[in-house]
Amino acid sequence: MARHLLQLEGLDAAALTALLDRAEAFLPIAQRTAPPSDALAGRLVANLFYEDSTRTRLSFETAAARLGARSLALQGAGSSSSKGESFLDTALNVEALGVDAIVVRSAIAGGAHLLARHVRCSVINAGDGRHEHPTQGLLDCLTVRRALGSIEGRTVAIVGDIANSRVARSAMHALTMLGATVRLVGPPTLLPRSLGSIVQHPERLSISHDLDAILGDLDVVMMLRVQLERAAGGGVSSDYRIQYGLTRDRANRLPPHCIVMHPGPVNRGVEVDDDVADDARRSQILGQVSNGVAIRMAVLQGCIGS
């Protein structure tokens, strides 16, 4: 595997599958049915988070710990960025401490790429603005593969604020590359204006504004949070839930095997109703979090393992 993981766009099916396979092999350690490994003993991973995070940051820390590596954490708030130090200077200083990898979340699309051009250690993108969130895309793929047995030929709806979602962008690249059909569903204001050649297999990607019309054909429904912090602005009206929420009534119209996913944080009662989020038969929301640890183990091992 390459030294950095900056995006899923451009990774071919073999590279994606190799990462999923590696993660699957790490699952027993991630789920604590096997003892931790010391594969990354002595390695140091710095988590630089300039945007809020619960799952992603703790997941990287957990993954590092399960492989015997140590983590350092720096959050934008409380760091010298409030004294005017630039993002890049901070990263160069963190590298000078002697870390093996920088895991970075930034509000700037391309933030992780910028660091990768200037530091010698590994850079792993934990979300860069509206651009990509590659480890989330991988954990989404692993979740589909484990829950349904396959990705190829599956129909996945990604519903909500597609335009502002790095989660959607990473997921659509990986899922279509692995042979799934992806339908982007949402109000026109929250969808990209044109699909153009957004993914390498454009024939596997389509747009729909009518969630009700496609419910019966889905294998996976992935709900997204409306990214109010990215000025989704006029896109969200009070009837968002009526049109695009995964209500109990809509969930009842999904095929019995269809799974429900959400990257978190969930706004209950907006994009997903309570009892749909908690329906153990369909909901993979917590499973995604567990799978994420194995994915991040695989990525850390791939980037900084020997």
Binding site for ligand NCD (CB under 6 A): 55-56, 127, 133, 136, 166-167, 225, 263-264
Q: Which is nearer to ligand NCD, 264 or 287 (CB)?
A: 264
Work out how close the CB of 197 gets to ligand NCD at its nearest, in angstroms, rounded to a whole number: 24
- Three-state DSSP class for residue 33: coil
Measured CA to CA, the distance from residue 248 to residue 296 in angstroms comes to 33
The token pair that represents 13 in the structure block:
């099916």
Q: Which is nearer to ligand NCD, 39 or 272 (CB)?
A: 272
Work out how close the CB of 152 gets to ligand NCD at its nearest, in angstroms, rounded to a whole number: 25
Work out how close the CB of 127 gets to ligand NCD at its nearest, in angstroms, rounded to a whole number: 5
Measured CA to CA, the distance from residue 14 to residue 297 in angstroms comes to 19
Beta pairing partners, 223? 159
Which of 65, 121, 66, 69 minimizes the C-alpha distance to 93? 121
Which of 280, 221, 289 minimizes the C-alpha distance to 251? 221
Q: Which is nearer to ligand NCD, 66 or 133 (CB)?
A: 133
Secondary structure letter of residue 272 according to DSSP: B
Measured CA to CA, the distance from residue 52 to residue 264 in angstroms comes to 12
Question: What distance, in Å, lies between the first and last C-alpha atoms of the chain?
Answer: 11
Q: Which is nearer to ligand NCD, 66 or 225 (CB)?
A: 225
The token pair that represents 249 in the structure block:
């009534």
Work out how close the CB of 191 gets to ligand NCD at its nearest, in angstroms, rounded to a whole number: 16
Q: Omega before 265 cis (within 30°)?
A: yes
CB closest to ligand NCD, residue no: 225
Work out how close the CB of 201 gets to ligand NCD at its nearest, in angstroms, rounded to a whole number: 24
Place of tokens 């009534």: 249
Q: Which is nearer to ligand NCD, 171 or 254 (CB)?
A: 171
Work out how close the CB of 139 gets to ligand NCD at its nearest, in angstroms, rounded to a whole number: 9
Q: Which is nearer to ligand NCD, 181 or 227 (CB)?
A: 227
Q: Which is nearer to ligand NCD, 91 or 222 (CB)?
A: 222
Q: Which is nearer to ligand NCD, 127 or 186 (CB)?
A: 127
Entry field: residues in the chain? 306
Distance set, CA 289 to CA 52, 142, 143, 219, 295 (Å): 17, 11, 9, 20, 10
Work out how close the CB of 73 gets to ligand NCD at its nearest, in angstroms, rounded to a whole number: 16
Work out how close the CB of 264 gets to ligand NCD at its nearest, in angstroms, rounded to a whole number: 5
Sign of dihedral through CA atoms 67, 93, 115, 169? Answer: positive
